[in-house]
Structure 1
Amino acid sequence: MPFDFALSAMAARSDTAPARWRKPFLIWLDGADAGWTIPVILLGFVGIWMVYLQVAYLSGDLHPDVLETWSLGRTFAWGSSKHPPLMGWVARAWTSVFPLSDWSFHLMAMTNSAAALWAVDLISCRFVRGDKRIVVLLLLMLLPTYQFQAQRFNANAVLLAVWPLATYCFLRSFETRRWPWAAAAGASAALAMLGKYYSVFLLGSFAFSALCHPQRRLYFTSLAPWVSIAVGLIVLLPHLHWLATTGAMPFSYAIAAHAGRTFDSSLSEALFFILGLAANMAIPAATWVMIAGYRLRRFLHDARSMSSGLRLLFLIAIGTIVFPVLTGIVLGTDVTPLWAVQGLFLFVILVVGGARYPIERFYSVNLTVMVIGIAVIATVIAAPI
């Protein structure tokens, strides 16, 4: 506790009389709600990790997953023997504009990550302002998800942008109950399914959150959920027809590759699934503990007083973890943490958005420097190795 108070005192002094080197960062943070700070950080993110990938792959080939994605994108189809078609569509659209080269596919992967972070900001800016918007993105940039895992553009990576976009549309549909947002929610949810069938857990979490939310009566007595279902089915109809006429090959592949586990095996898989996600969140979680300090004792109080929108996100977040675990145990299948990392943004928004206290500029600047420092070290030292 004395350390926390000492750090808080240091933060107060820094905010009152910041060091000269901090002032450019303060100017940058001031633009969070003006609309230019977010594009700057996303462009910088793409730029520095593009340099990393160019150096790291200088004497190597593209990852096999990327080559598989490209092969699927050579022809427009409504499915393949292993995966739904979205990743192939993205590759096809990208290579119709950009050349067939390693740097082009690296840029596609990092642009997808930037689009994912932009979609997350669409959600977070409904609950936080100023520095907290930036802190959400910076904490996510501490995950390996948006750089190291995203570079392998595959059926998992394509969900990085689709899941937050679908969540945003569902949130707006639940709040407004207007048919345009309901249609957008249905279309984006269908798009998530066209990315990977694992997205059924996101759709199930939407239904679970709507049923458990205190405003469920208003939502289900409106046209919104039924418009979403109708539009989602319309978007999925060509793919469903493809599945029916080709023998549902992706399901056969999934059963052969992931089913048939014993109860003990599936139980241990579920445990490692949870531990793996916790390990992914370790650095952002430790960083947030340093920022919050002694104010962590208010966590439960703040959680009980969270807004209606945050409560909806909380229920969605719980569903995206619990449903895969239960399904794996009941059906005897394996579950891999890598399949669920695109949903970790929900927990970051909940923690930062649910905190009822401001974040001192001292911490915001330090976190910015930390994220930049990690990226520079990775580019200068790790990439050549």
Structure 2
Amino acid sequence: MLQSLRNDGLLRRLRLLAMTERDPAPAYEKVSGHRSRPGLTARAGSPCRPPALMSIAISAPLRRCESDTRDILLLLAAHVVLWTGFCLLYLGPSDLQNDMTEAFSWAQEMPLGTYKHPPFYAWVVHGWFSLFPTRDWAFYLLSSTNAAIGLAAVWAIAGRYLSGPARLAAVLLLETLPFFTVQSFNFNANSVLLSLWPLVTLLFLRAFDRRDLAGAVANAVALGLAAAAAMLSKYYSGIILLCCLAAALAHPDRRRFFGSAAPYVAIAVFAAAVAPHVLWHLHAAIGPLQYMASKSHSDTLRILGKAGLFVAGCLALHALLGAALAWLWRRGRASAPEDRPAESSMGDRRSLAIFALGPFLLTVAIALAFKVKIVTQFAIPIFSLSPLAAIVWLRLAIDRDALRRLARLAGIVGLLLLAVAPFAGAWTLRHDIEHAAEPRRLLAKRVTTLWHERIGTPLAIVAGTESYALGATFYSPDHPTDFTAFAPAYAPWIDAQRLRRGGLAVICLKDDEWCLGEAAKYQGLDSWRTEIGLAKRVRGVTGRPFDFVVLFVKPGQTLPLQPIRLREF
């Protein structure tokens, strides 16, 4: 009898399970960035599901979460591999650009500031090359990794509005913008913001959302540090901080936020982090503010023209993104309303509008107000949320099939770029496009060898024609420091004692009259002068020849120092 009762109980449970599966309670869950049709998820307050269905309802979102994470990791890895490889194939015949070798030169000194920019991105270079060898591929890997960090931050922000295919599409579509691809190769004060501005945005949103004290303070500390890193990379980052302030003031929940500890903790951490640089700037002979002032102009028509070109250039650079969005819009016109992204809260909508449009509008407004000449390189960090904003505002229905097509097209384009890159690189060398034929690496090694033979000490300090002096800091095995413009005002870490200990190698293009004039001031000292002719040959292609004048000033002498002057670079 006991066994019979057990069997009856088992049968009743099986019948209940079957009935529940035939008639599940209607509910909506967020799938693939959209509200799904009625499924297995229980409504709030409904009776508990049988264990089998509960496991299904719980494990399915977990599997989707794992799939989303796997997809974004694959996309980030593909981005790093593709664009690092493209750099090596396309830029292989060229040597590193001036901004990169300049950052490396500063990185060796770990300054609190430089005459041109704040120091953070030079600190990043210092940390990077303490782990990696001084090779071109390592610098290009840094550039692509920096962009990938920005993509990851955008993916995290997109999770507030979308999930699944739509969330990943908000990141994948950024590959259509040159800012995250071909304009990210040159690691400098603009491109480092590709990672920092999205991180500041993400941490601000998290700090605003957290209501528990510990979580709010932790996110506020992280926000303060990220904001300081952005400002210590380029003062232009004040724009993203203004956007944070505007988003906080525009949010319906602003009273709670400003009544909490979060904003004040973030401000305190930010102030403490930037204070050493501020103190440095107060005592510096020439700093970024003077450099910025040298870039402003009083010609109103010229400023208006530059602003107009900036706006037109930004629109043109969005052409591929516009085409992709148009295709997604046409494809999703017939989608049911429940297949489109759900409406966000008013606060989230306002925040997205401010962070998506604010940087662009503020850049143009400030340029016009302060008569600053702006170029499209300034736009590198300001459009990271463009695809996300378009998907949310247009309520684009993006399913797995659409995402696969976009990814397949991106993969095909990437493979084509890799196939064409070596031939394009050879063409740039043959025709000296973007200074590709300049033999900076060859000259640095030749000068180092001659210095060792003639002087017998490590090459410590170089100066001269900018691209070649900076190139020597990276490509010379001795990694000398650059005595910028022959003046301590531009290289305050170099003084008379350091010049006396290390000597000086002056590298001038033979037709660089300014450099030759500076070198002539040292010819009365114990020095040695020579001329060098070089032509770069890479992959069977020979670039045009270059002629140089090199002057070695031996250590142990007192060198004349130049007066402070602001030179246009």
Deviation at 1:384, TM superposition (A): 2.3
Tell me, yes or no, if structure 1 residue 91 matches structure 2 residue 129. no
Between 1 and 2, higher relative CO (CA 8 Å, sep ≥ 6) is seen in 1
Which one of the candidate residues 182, 189, 208 is aligned to 1:174? 208
Q: Distance in 2 between matches of 1:100 and 1:56?
A: 19
Kept in 1: contact 2:332–2:398 (CA 8 A): no
Q: Give 2:137's aligned residue.
A: 103
Which one of the candidate residues 265, 268, 273 is aligned to 1:235? 273
Report which of the two structures shows the higher radius of gyration computed on alpha carbons.
Answer: 2
Structure 2 matches for 1:54-69, cutoff 5 A? 54-69=88-103
Q: What is the identity, as a one-letter code, of the residue corresponding to 1:316?
A: F
Kept in 1: contact 2:250–2:350 (CA 8 A): no
> Any idea what SS the aligned residue of 2:162 has?
coil
Tell me, yes or no, if structure 1 residue 266 matches structure 2 residue 300. no
Tell me, yes or no, if structure 1 residue 48 matches structure 2 residue 87. no
Structure 2 matches for 1:247-326, cutoff 5 A? 247=285, 249-256=287-294, 258-293=295-330, 307-326=346-365
TM-score using structure 1 length: 0.86
TM-score using structure 2 length: 0.59
Q: Distance in 2 between matches of 1:305 and 1:31?
A: 20
Q: What is the identity, as a one-letter code, of the residue corresponding to 1:93?
A: G
Q: What is the identity, as a one-letter code, of the residue corresponding to 1:174?
A: F
Which one of the candidate residues 378, 381, 384 is aligned to 2:417? 378
Tell me, yes or no, if structure 1 residue 367 matches structure 2 residue 397. no
Between stretches 42-51 and 305-314, larger displacement belongs to: 305-314
Q: Give 2:391's aligned residue.
A: 352
Which one of the candidate residues 227, 233, 243 is aligned to 1:195? 233
The 3 A distance-change label for structure 1 pair 31 and 141 is farther
Q: Give 2:479's aligned residue.
A: none
Number of matched residues?
354
Q: Distance in 2 between matches of 1:345 and 1:292?
A: 20
Structure 2 matches for 1:205-216, cutoff 5 A? 205-216=243-254
Which one of the candidate residues 197, 217, 227 is aligned to 2:255? 217
Kept in 2: contact 1:156–1:338 (CA 8 A): yes
Deviation at 1:302, TM superposition (A): 8.2
Kept in 2: contact 1:32–1:133 (CA 8 A): no
Q: Give 1:246's aligned residue.
A: 284
The 3 A distance-change label for structure 1 pair 304 and 37 is closer
- Runs of 5+ unmatched residues, structure 1: 1-28
Greater helix share, structure number: 1
Q: Distance in 2 between matches of 1:248 and 1:149?
A: 29
Deviation at 1:32, TM superposition (A): 6.5
Q: What is the identity, as a one-letter code, of the residue corresponding to 2:411?
A: I
> Any idea what SS the aligned residue of 2:94 has?
coil
Q: Distance in 2 between matches of 1:126 and 1:45?
A: 23
Kept in 2: contact 1:85–1:194 (CA 8 A): yes
- Post-superposition Cα deviations, 1:186-236, rounded to whole Å, max 9, x if no partner, equal 221111001111101111111122222222222222222222111110111
Structure 1 consecutive aligned stretches of length 4 or more whose deviation exceeds 4 Å = 29-34, 294-298, 301-307
> Any idea what SS the aligned residue of 1:333 has?
coil
- Post-superposition Cα deviations, 1:302-333, rounded to whole Å, max 9, x if no partner, equal 89866532421211233212222111111111
Kept in 2: contact 1:302–1:355 (CA 8 A): no
